[in-house]
Chain A
Amino acid sequence: RKEVEQDPGPFNVPEGATVAFNCTYSNSASQSFFWYRQDCRKEPKLLMSVYSSGNEDGRFTAQLNRASQYISLLIRDSKLSDSATYLCVVNSRGSARQLTFGSGTQLTVLP
């Protein structure tokens, strides 16, 4: 079983739609959680950290459920520029510096 699992998609949604991505992690001792974004053939970039109480950054909302070991990302009012692969990332190795990346969920926002 992978330490961090994501639905690979692809998700194809129209502009303006709301889309949600889910991620599960296997290590219950994991302490830090993130969503990164990766554009085609580019490097990953931090989208947002995920906090226990949930957090929002503009059109993006992240949720964490420690009991179910589940992380989500909600994108509202999708834009064409949101098209990318979204990586769920977990600090699962007991070291604050070793992050485990999910394989990513591909999103395409259609005009």
Chain B
Amino acid sequence: DAGITQSPRYKITETGRQVTLMCHQTWSHSYMFWYRQDLGHGLRLIYYSAAADITDKGEVPDGYVVSRSKTENFPLTLESATRSQTSVYFCASSDILQETQYFGPGTRLLVL
């Protein structure tokens, strides 16, 4: 019972490079979310998806791209990484019938 997984767990990249963070859930949850967590800001929503092929912007979408071709996967791409995107990224999912969000273990990204 894997639940929700993220890969990689740790990533170091350089400014200007493209980076893709993966998120996979085995529950067939309709909703999926990407957050970033920074000191002093708490968790901030980047993008979310209500179903396959349906995505929408959250609070801080600039510099990020998402796609959702399959219900179980929700990759997040940083098109051209910047130092300000150094953060911990959490993916989450929730069932259509409840609001509880279940989080993955997070990806720690360092942009040099």
B42 touches A91 (CB 8 A): no
* Interchain CB contact under 8 A, A46 and B43: no
- B103 at interface (Cβ–Cβ under 8 A)? yes
Q: Is the CB of A43 within 8 A of B106?
A: yes
Q: Which of A34-51 contact B (CB under 8 A)?
A: 34, 42-46, 49
Which A residues are CB-close (under 8 A) to B33? 97
Bound together, the chains give a CA A39 to CA B36 distance in angstroms of: 16
Give Cα A98–Cα B100 distance, bound, in whole angstroms.
11
Contact of B50 among A32, A87, A97 (CB under 8 A): A97
Question: What total count of A-B pairs have CB within 8 Å?
Answer: 43
How far, in angstroms, from A32 to B94 measured CA to CA in the complex? Answer: 15
Q: How would you classify the secondary structure of chain B's contact residues: helix, strand, loop or mixed?
A: strand
Would you call A43 and B45 a contact (CB within 8 A)? no
Q: Kindly list chain B residues whose C-beta atoms are within 8 Å of the C-beta of A104.
A: 42
Please measure, in the bound complex, the distance between the C-alpha atom of A3 and the C-alpha atom of B31, giving whole angstroms: 23
CA distance A97 to B56 in the complex (A): 11
Specify which chain A residues have a CB less than 8 angstroms from the CB of B104 in the assembled complex: 43
Number of chain A residues whose Cβ lies closer than 8 Å to a Cβ of chain B: 19
B42 touches A46 (CB 8 A): no
Q: Mark B40-65, 1 if CB is under 8 A from A, else 0.
A: 11111100101000000010000000
B80: Cβ under 8 A from any A Cβ: no
Report A's interface with B, CB cutoff 8 A.
4, 32, 34, 42-46, 49, 87, 91, 96-99, 101-104
**Contact sample, A vs B, 20 pairs, CB 8 Å cutoff:** A4-B42, A34-B100, A42-B106, A43-B103, A43-B104, A43-B105, A44-B43, A45-B103, A46-B101, A87-B42, A87-B43, A91-B99, A97-B31, A97-B50, A99-B45, A99-B101, A101-B35, A101-B43, A103-B40, A103-B41
